[in-house]
Every structure is written in C-alpha cells, then in structure tokens.
Amino acid sequence: MADAGASPAPKPSSSVKLVLLGEAAVGKSSLVMRFVNNDFQENKEPTIGAAFLTQKCNLPTRTIKFEIWDTAGQERFASLAPMYYRNAQAALVVYDITKSTSLTKAQHWVAELQRQASPGIVIALVGNKLDLASPSSSSADDADGGDGGDEEADEGDARKVPTKTAKAYAEEEGLLFFETSAKTGERVAEVFTAIANAIPETQLKGPRGAAGGQRQEESRVNLGAAKDASAKEGCAC
C-alpha cells in the first residue's frame, strides 16, 4: 500500500507475507498485537478467518514490510488455512509452552507447511507464554536468537514443553526457534527480525504497487547468518 512508498528510509523495501498458525489460544493474535502495536489485551475478539496487519521491520540494509496473516486457531478453521498460507514467504508456528498438545499441533502445521506451502518458506517455531514459566527454565538473557535455551524445565512452573525438546525438533526440521512472551514482549521483536533476515534475497519482491525494481544484491542471508544477525538488530517498531 501507500505506506511502503511513504517510508522515510531510503533503504530498499520489500514486503513479506507472513502467516501465523497454531492451536487456538496459544497467543497468535497477541504476538502480532505486540509486534505491531506493542500492546497486549486480555480479551481479544476471536479471529474470524484471518486478521490482516502490516508492520515494517528495519534491517541495516533494507526494510521489510511484513504482511501478517493472523489465522483463526479453532480446529475447524484449519481447513481454511491453505487459503491463507498460500504464497506466504514466512510462517510463524506458535505453540504454548504450558500445553504440550499445542506443540504437537504445531508440528502438524510445520509438516503441512513443508509439504503444501511455497517451497523455501521460512518457518519459525515459537513457544509463547514464556512469562508463565519460571525464569530459570528459560534462556531469556541469552541473546542468541536461534538458541531457545539450554535448561530443562523446572518442576513447579507452568512450563510443560522443555526448551530442549522443542529446540531439538526445530533443529531437526531446520526451523528458527524462539520462546517468547507476548504479555511481557520478551523476544517478540527478535522473532520477526530473525525471520526478516532469513528470507532469501531471491524471494524478496519490491513493495507491491510501488516501484518494483529496488532489489538489493547484498546481504544474501541464510539461516545461520540470521541467527547471528538477529542478536544485534532489532526491529524499528
């Protein structure tokens, strides 16, 4: 839309379609809300079909405009999902670290995306509700974006999915991995930055509707580089 052109940054700008998937009530909408508005709401209207939001993410060399499709989580809406992940360049598969079934569901989504979504889609596995886990079980201070944590969950906190389990799975499948809290905002921006960095340059289109030819040749980023980059760069949002 017009926004992209109005961006003050002279940096090249490209839009990235990102879809959020995951079980109901894991905090997909809240993550987006945190990312887009830096806000958190306890009672949000359930997403009907999908909600659409946009947010820019400034990287040193370029600006990524995220077109975020936040999908409904209720099981029966799953059959609508192909409509939304169609042509997506990135996906955020969210689970709730206090609910182990939600990781299973997330794994299903990952499998679905790997088989059905556009090839080369960048998938990030995100364990949300980190605020409900005791601090020792998380790796909050670890700035490394690709490294979700190294400790097993303590007995006693609400965490049900050990970081190790999810991380091992993510590594096996070649996913970005994060644990976040939409409520506190912890590491939410990092997720999006990491994704922005992980999108292969070749996949980037110019801002649609604006002058399309502004592709950049530098900063071909791979997943490994994304991990390092995400540590230093935050989204300007």
Partner 1 sequence: MFNLSSIVQKAQQLIDPALTAPTERKPSKSALFRLQFRLPETQNPLQEITAELTLSAQRTTEGTHLIERDRDRARGNRYVGKLHLSEHYMCFSTQASSYLSTASTANSTSFTGQTHGSGPAGNGFTLPLCAIRRVERLHSQNTAFSLAITTSNGFSDHSKQGTTDAPQRLVMQLAGSRQQCDRFCDGLKKGLRAGMRDVENLRKVVGLSYSEYHLADEAAKDGKKELIPTREAPDTGLGSIFRYPGDSRKLRDKAKMRLWKEYMRENGRNATLIRQPTFHKLIRVGLPNRLRGEIWELSSGSFYLRLQNPDLYVQTLSKYSGQESLAIDEIEKDLNRSLPEYPGFQSEEGIGRLRRVLTAYSWTNEDVGYCQAMNIVVAALLIYTSEVQAFYLLSVLCDRLLPGYYSQTMYGTLLDQRVFESLVEKTMPILWDHVQKSDVQLSIVSLPWFLSLYINSMPLVFAFRVLDVFFLEGPKVLFQIGLAILRINGEELLDASDDGAFISVLKDYFSRLEDSAHPKSENPKLRAVTRFQELMVVAFKEFAGITQDTISKQRSAHKEVVLENIENFAKRTSIRNLGPESKKLSLADLGFLYDRFYGVLYDRQQRSQTIQDESERKAKAGKSKAQQLVTGIPAADDVEVGRVALGASTTQMDYDAFREFLVGVARWAVADTQSPSHDLEKQSYFTNSTRSRSISMSPWGAGPDPADDEFIRRLFRKWDVDEYKSLSLQNVVVGFAKVKGARDIMSTIAYFFDLYDDDNDGKVDRDGILKMSEALLFLGRRGFVTSALASPSQTPIQNGASPRLDKNPQRTTSKDEEFLSAVSSFIRRCFEYADADNAHAIQMAKNAAAEESATASSLADFSIGGDEEDDDLVDLTSDSIPLTPTTPRQTSTSPIMSSPSQLMNLPPMPSETKPNTHAANAALDPANPLFITLPTFRMLVLADETLEHFFDTDFVNSFHLADQPVDSTASSSSNLTTFANLGKGFQRPNLGAPALSLPASGGVVPPGKGLRGMLDNIVTDGMRVATEVRRRMEEAQRELDSASTPGGAGSSTHKDDEDDEEDDHRTIDDVNADRRSVREGDRDLLEGLEAAELDGSDAGSVGKVENLMDAGLTSPVRSSRASTSSERTGNGIVEFER
| Footprint on residues 141-200 left by partner 1 (CB under 8 A) | none
Among 134, 144, 200, 208, binds partner 1 (CB under 8 A): 208
Least separation, in Å, of the C-beta of 208 and partner 1?
A: 5
Q: 135 near 153, Cβ under 8 Å?
A: no
Virtual torsion, Cα 35, 5, 176, 43, nearest 10 deg: 20
The separation between CA 123 and the C-alpha centre of its own chain, rounded to angstroms, equals 8
| Footprint on residues 24-53 left by partner 1 (CB under 8 A) | 24-25, 43-50, 52
**What is the CB neighbour count within 10 angstroms for residue 48?**
10
| By CB under 8 A, residue 54 contacts partner 1 | yes
x-or-dash string of contact with partner 1, 107-146, rule CB under 8 A? -x--xx--xx------------------------------
Q: Which residues bind partner 1 (CB under 8 A)?
A: 1-2, 15, 17, 24-25, 43-50, 52, 54, 67, 69, 72, 74, 76-80, 82-84, 86-87, 108, 111-112, 115-116, 208-209
